[in-house]
Structure 1
Amino acid sequence: MTVDVILPCLNEEAALGWVLGRMPDGYRPIVVDNGSTDRSARIAREFGAEVVHEPVRGFGAACHAGLLAATAELVCFMDADASLDPGQLPRVTAAVLDGHGDLVLGRRIPAAAGSWPWHARLGNTVLAATLRRRTGAPLHDLGPMRAARRAALLDLGLTDRRFGYPLEMVLRAAAAGRRIAEVQVDYLPRAGVSKVTGTLRGTLQAVSDMRRVMTELQQPRPASRASGR
């Protein structure tokens, strides 16, 4: 079957060739250009990827634009910075196809020294522990490589368009009773500077966005008319 792979992209010309060149057969890349000023879009087209332009800045905006553009039943998300190997996408999709989980995340395992800064890893560990307590899902990483069925993701009604998008996906999936699982994937040194952990501003923005999503989703939703409550 064909699998659509959504790659949010902002100035990733140094990494895109490697990422797209390692895409497995049957996996169709959708590069969502979120306002790049380099040759990212051109490189993506040269490698045969579909390019979607999302003018609204934000990680979630790019991810959701890719989800709307996708047509395959099964979709994946992953970063376009060469920190994750597309050759390992079948590990993640297999867990969905064999019924192990409805939303499957790649648990990042550092494959080289310096691939995961200690402060980012610590923050991720704390966040994962919070998610385990809140959702009961056996998660150890809010990994950016993930897979699910497209229709199921659209049904979640995701609204965040910033760095809170990956977290909202997990929280809403858990609230909807979806099975959440993870499989191990290699975490490699990324190409260039991270938009999140590479700058203080990026880190603070990501923390703020995720805290906001956590707070918003703690509020009870209005009872539906069908429930009679």
Structure 2
Amino acid sequence: MEPSRVPRGPAPRLIFLFCTLTLTLAASAMLCAAIMSDHWEEVGWNREALSQTNISPTWYLDGKVAMLESIPGHGSFSHHFKKKPAFLVPMHGGIWTLCVSLTGMQNLSISCSLVCMIILGTAVIVGSFGLCRHQISAVLVTGVMYLLAATFALFTLTIIHCKRAQDRNARVFEGPEDGVVGGPVPRSILKARNFTTSWSMDFGWGGVTLCALASVAWILLSKIMRFNPISTMIA
């Protein structure tokens, strides 16, 4: 009489492998979604703050868009509005199209995000090669690359935060301003803007956290593979 075989559950090493792959997929997807989307922040206008500037704009689209035709007592601005009215509009933007204008600081954030995406793409290739060919060094490099991706993503988030903090010091600007379409507007009007972060920013912070965790997981996986090949883990 043959002894009954008790079915064995998956080995802890195999569970760790699948957890690493799942964490890596989630981190890459979340970070790419944050970088490619355009909902990092939203720009709105405070109607009460505008009313305190002694300006009476004309509101359209259920009070979402305001048109400024002239501003009494503002000299050159009144002249500009007679030629080209200014519109105060709600906007949302991301890394690539942050509202209207592209500044030098935003170009830096674009560069960091591009480097982050290149590192993520390369890490997928290197990690797949390391797992398929049992190359421990490639698996270890994958962990380092995910740490680099998290670092550059953190740079991007920091630059966006610093840019917005700098833009809160509103000034008279002769070009496009966030939330303004058309002619220039005085500083008193720009103070009525409201800046709020949106879901893309949350995805960015989540992606940074998951990338850091994925980096640790890949480094630990390289230590496990040193004594247990992938074929042994799956068997």
TM-score w.r.t. structure 2 length?
A: 0.23
In terms of fraction of residues, the more strand-rich structure is 1
In terms of fraction of residues, the more helix-rich structure is 2
Higher relative contact order (CA 8 A, sep 6+): 2
TM-score w.r.t. structure 1 length?
A: 0.24
Structure whose alpha-carbon radius of gyration is higher? 2
